[in-house]
Amino acid sequence: MAGMSESRARFTLDAKGLLCPLPVIRTQDRVKGLAPGDELTVLCTDPGALHDIPAWCRVHGHELVATEEADGEIQICLRVGAG
């Protein structure tokens, strides 16, 4: 299939119930074990993560794919960068 040569693995990190700065720290620790192009969805409940994790992505060269908030749960999806 054309355009499907890149296979991306998808992972989930459960950081629900953790308060700042723990969601970012756990995200950073998890990304260290992933390959560039892998996607990580972080599940959390701390509203501060909606600012902190995207800011961390910008600083460290990762791509923010999507954010979603529903019923007090936040999902932040990022794609691991090469840096």
Catalytic (active-site) positions: 20
Return phi, psi of residue 38, to 5°: -65, 150
Give the residue from 22, 71, 30, 11 showing the smallest Cα distance to 48: 22
